[in-house]
Structure 1
Amino acid sequence: MTRLFSILFVFVTPMAFATEEVASVDNIQQFASLIRWSGVFFSLLIVAATWLLLKFINSMVESVGSQFVQYRMLLQKLQSFLQFFIYMTAGLMVFMLSFRINDHILALIGGTLAVSVGFALKDLAASFIAGMTVMIDRPFQVGDRVTFEGNYGDIIAIGLRSVRMRTLNDDIITIPNNKFLNEVTVSGNYGALDMQVVIPFYVGMNEDITLARDLIQEAASSSRYIHLPKPVTVLVKQTITDNYLAIQLTCKAYVVDTAYEKLFETDITLRVMQEFKKHGILPPRIAVQSES
């Protein structure tokens, strides 16, 4: 009986492998028949043309935005929507040119999408849905200066999968869209070109607080980066720390363009420090405990 099974195994095994090879060849041939090879070449041309078009649009927006600063926000928003339209149009054209649309290709696409969304592409699908939510809900816009998870910078692109941020150190950060559904995002200007800048100053308890406040007010109002239609406010409060008592004067002023935020802060700080030195206004003294 054992010998009989061995003989059957010797004959059946090659037949099984042969059947699998024939089925594999049939699947490859069936898949190859769905591809329109004459359209693959044109699809490559469309991909190349799309890439060149996006590069041209990006360079035009940067060039025009640098010359006409007042239209920079609008141009960046239009660029974001135009890129989305170009991606969708190019993808549809490539698909229509490269495949023969029939029942087999539709069944293949349907099965692939079902498996992908359910398993391999669940994170991508979540980012896609979150991207649509971000575009509709608009917690921030392209060009906004935002704070997200400890990162601070400008939103330069809002895509279907991710959002790109340029930090003040000129680093590009890519953030998946689904992150914005559960985290807090702080927008400093929310679509406007100007933005409030908060600069704290500290003076000693015995200094002329009224004079210090007036000097800060004057320094901020005379800065070349100030946005004068909005008010300049200087708030005063006493602060207590472990080592010293001090008076904190907080300057709140609006910079004319978010791109000049740090230059604005530096300009005001230098002016205030110079005026404090001229008028003899001293910083708080740290109380040093004597050793026993």
Structure 2
Amino acid sequence: MRLFTYLSLLFFALCLATSAYAQDSLAVDTGDTSTLMIQVENAAAKTNVRDEAPNLSEIFSMAKIFWALVFLLSGYIGIRVISKILEILAERSTQYRITLKGLIPVVRILGWIFVLFIIVAGIFQPPAATILALSASVGVAVGFASQDILKNIFGGVMILFDRPFQVGDKIEVGSYYGEVTQIGLRSTRVVTPDDSLVSIPNSEIMNGSVSNSNAGEANCQVVAEIYLPISIDTVRVREIATQAAQVSKYIYLAKPIAVLFFNEVKDRKSYLKMRLKAYVMDIRSEFAFKSEMTEIVIKALIDDQLINDQDFN
């Protein structure tokens, strides 16, 4: 529904632009000869005065402002439509989801650069001296007023070039862990396991450490931890855990399954912490697989009378 709305707005903007262009052409065709002669004389007079500074009213005329707004609206709708199409295609394929979603921020940045270039160089066409003077003034003003925003923008650009992660990856930044849904110029958005959307400033990501669980692949490693009595039969436990992982509908068998044991002390009592490490085919199945392994392994251990309720009291 949102895609249909964007397409309708894009069609409306194109129709508006076409109508305006047709009206301008009609006005030129129906103009009398004297008006055209006056325009030619004015143009010749302007070419003779080469050293005269350009008039701001000529650079920022109402017609140019109108066309700039039309291109801004068309560019905004076009970028949203392309991003939405890529997102829909990505959600339909687990194998290419991360690759397609990684193209979305690139399309947005390149799209806006193209739109702004067309508006400045194609519509307003200011002299080079005016562009340099305006850029210097705006740069100094913006630099003092929004240093944090510029740091975030620079961080967003560096993330796109350095690619420590991309859209669709599972990352951990500080105390936040989740799937990257959007990489913007100001912040990166992450969906946590409890379905909370967290916006992390790009400057914090660039200045801190980032842990990437899958590094651009659809599969990722999952670790399920279970505390067991110190005297339990680890050989049998390893067999049960390995078999449970092998028959799971989430398992990615192209990578190894490992069962490790560690001794830990809690409340002055020793326990064995079993860590079942395996890979799932889709990173979104991470927590479902972890829950499934915990349930199946504990139930199998109870059925084999390797553990009982008193072991957890």
* TM bin (shorter chain): 0.7 to 0.9
Give the partner amino acid of 1:46.
Answer: F
SS in 2 for 1:193: coil
Please provide the CA RMSD for this pair.
2.2
| Residue 87 of structure 1: aligned partner | 112
In 2: Cα distance, 1:106 partner to 1:99 partner: 15
Q: What is the aligned counterpart of 1:74 among 99, 103, 127?
A: 99
User: Is contact 1:236-1:247 (8 Å) kept?
Assistant: yes
In 2: Cα distance, 1:139 partner to 1:105 partner: 35
Label 1:238 to 1:61 Cα distance change in 2 as closer, same or farther (>3 A).
Answer: same
Taking structure 2 as the reference length, what is the TM-score of the superposition?
0.75
Give the partner amino acid of 1:205.
Answer: I
Give the partner amino acid of 2:290.
Answer: E
Unaligned runs of 5+ in 2: 1-54
Listed as ranges, the matches of 1:125-136 within 5 Å are 125-136=150-161
| Residue 164 of structure 1: aligned partner | 189
Per-residue CA distance 1:41-72 (angstroms, 9 max, x = gap) = 22222222222223322332232222222111
Label 1:149 to 1:66 Cα distance change in 2 as closer, same or farther (>3 A).
Answer: same
User: Is contact 1:198-1:253 (8 Å) kept?
Assistant: yes
In 2: Cα distance, 1:92 partner to 1:163 partner: 26
In 1: Cα distance, 2:62 partner to 2:282 partner: 52
User: Stretches of 4+ moved more than 6 A in 1?
Assistant: none
| Residue 101 of structure 1: aligned partner | 126
In 1: Cα distance, 2:64 partner to 2:195 partner: 41
Per-residue CA distance 1:224-276 (angstroms, 9 max, x = gap) = 00000101000012221224221211100001110111111122122112212
In 1: Cα distance, 2:290 partner to 2:132 partner: 59
Give the partner amino acid of 1:188.
Answer: S
User: Is contact 1:155-1:165 (8 Å) kept?
Assistant: yes
Unaligned runs of 5+ in 1: 1-29, 288-292
Total equivalences in the alignment = 257
| Percent of pairs with identical residues | 26
Deviation (angstroms), 1:180 = 1.9
| Residue 273 of structure 1: aligned partner | 298
In 2: Cα distance, 1:66 partner to 1:133 partner: 26
Give the partner amino acid of 2:244.
Answer: A
Taking structure 1 as the reference length, what is the TM-score of the superposition?
0.80
Per-residue CA distance 1:152-174 (angstroms, 9 max, x = gap) = 11122223332222222333222
Listed as ranges, the matches of 1:105-124 within 5 Å are 106-117=132-143, 119-124=144-149
User: Is contact 1:36-1:97 (8 Å) kept?
Assistant: no
| Residue 219 of structure 2: aligned partner | 194
User: Is contact 2:244-2:296 (8 Å) kept?
Assistant: yes
| Residue 45 of structure 1: aligned partner | 70
Bigger Cα Rg: 1
Deviation (angstroms), 1:151 = 0.7
Label 1:58 to 1:137 Cα distance change in 2 as closer, same or farther (>3 A).
Answer: closer
